[in-house]
Amino acid sequence: MIRLVVCNQRGGVSKTTTTHTIARHLADSGLKVLMIDTDPQGSLGLVLGAKPKKYLYEFVVHNHAFEECVWRASENIDVLCSNRETTKAEVALLGMTAGELAFVRIFGMIEDAYDAVLIDVSPSINLVQTCSIMYAKSLLIPVAMDMLSLQGAAACIETSKMLTELFKVEIKVAGLLPTMIDRRFNLTSLTLKALEAMSEKYGTPVLPPIRTDGTVPKAERARKFLVDMDPHCKAADDYRAASAKLMELLHVEPRYKAKEEISA
């Protein structure tokens, strides 16, 4: 089973786009996917036009039925959305014994219905993010082409190492994903070189890069998955390659060829 936290301590690095686009590729490959948004801004539900009856807060804190809280985004994809109430979940988790392990217990009860769980977290270190990491034990880190994004990625890796040592569990970085690639700019080349150095330092793979593409914001405004907006745009092609590499690294076989690959 795939469990991934999509994180970077720097905002604006395409975490949400990465979460739902890779989730869609996995779903189109025959896997049943659950996306969980733990960011109080609720970006994941917003860009997909989600209209859930209840949210993460109700499920985690008030034990509402999972079926009442989850929203069907497309075939094979469910979403547990977040809203401002998620900040109250942080307070509730602080009052729990071994609160860092709360998601292990909570999501462990429903995960058997899925082949993959992808968690989009806020760009800050907090207890909800720690709970997410302790549950998934695997990180996917998008890295935009600036030095602050690199620092945010390094902070995520160091956090995972700290949690590994503290709780005696193995937390891995599944991959570093270069995003917002525009090779016309010198900063892109410099950042990619620094990313390769980070990969060597921490022993983490670098996935195929994602180019900048105007189709991404268009898809968000239209409340559509990227492949539904334009399955052959640059970003869709790049995410397809990155998703395939990620599945290879995680030793996950597709159940059938993705729809966008068939229509290519």
pLDDT digits (tens, 9 = 90+) for 121-156: 999 889 999 999 999 999 999 999 999 999 999 999
State how beta strands 70-74 and 138-143 pair. unpaired
Say which residues have a Cβ less than 8 Å from residue 77's Cβ, sequence separation at least 6: 23, 24, 27, 33, 34, 35
Give the strand order in the sheet containing 77-80. 70-74, 77-80, 33-37, 116-120, 2-6, 138-143, 172-178
Rounded to whole angstroms, the Cα distance separating 20 from 230 reads 15
- pLDDT reported for residue 255: 73
pLDDT in tens, 219-250: 999 999 999 999 999 999 999 999 999 999 99
Of the candidates 114, 46, 49, which has an alpha carbon nearest to the alpha carbon of residue 84? 46
Q: For residue 120, how far is the Cα from the chain centroid?
A: 4
Angle at 251 between CA 249 and CA 15, to 5 degrees: 50
Reported confidence tier of residue 46, pLDDT bands at 50, 70, 90: very high
Looking at the DSSP assignment, which residues form a beta bridge with residue 140? Answer: 6, 175
Q: Are 84 and 46 in contact (CB under 8 A)?
A: no
Q: Are 175 and 245 in contact (CB under 8 A)?
A: yes
Looking at the DSSP assignment, which residues form a beta bridge with residue 35? Answer: 79, 118
State how beta strands 70-74 and 77-80 pair. antiparallel
On the question of pLDDT at 264 being above 70, the answer is: no
Q: Are 131 and 103 in contact (CB under 8 A)?
A: yes
Of the candidates 204, 153, 173, 174, which has an alpha carbon nearest to the alpha carbon of residue 14? 153
Q: Are 89 and 56 in contact (CB under 8 A)?
A: yes
Reported confidence tier of residue 262, pLDDT bands at 50, 70, 90: very low
- Range 163-170 average pLDDT: 94
Give the CA-trace dihedral at 62, 45, 242, 123, to 10 degrees.
Answer: -70
- Range 187-195 average pLDDT: 96
Rounded to whole angstroms, the Cα distance separating 2 from 249 reads 11
On the question of pLDDT at 99 being above 90, the answer is: no
- Range 42-49 average pLDDT: 96
Q: Are 144 and 181 in contact (CB under 8 A)?
A: no
- Structural domains of the chain in order of their starting residue, each with its CATH number: 7-253 (3.40.50.300)
Q: Are 50 and 81 in contact (CB under 8 A)?
A: yes
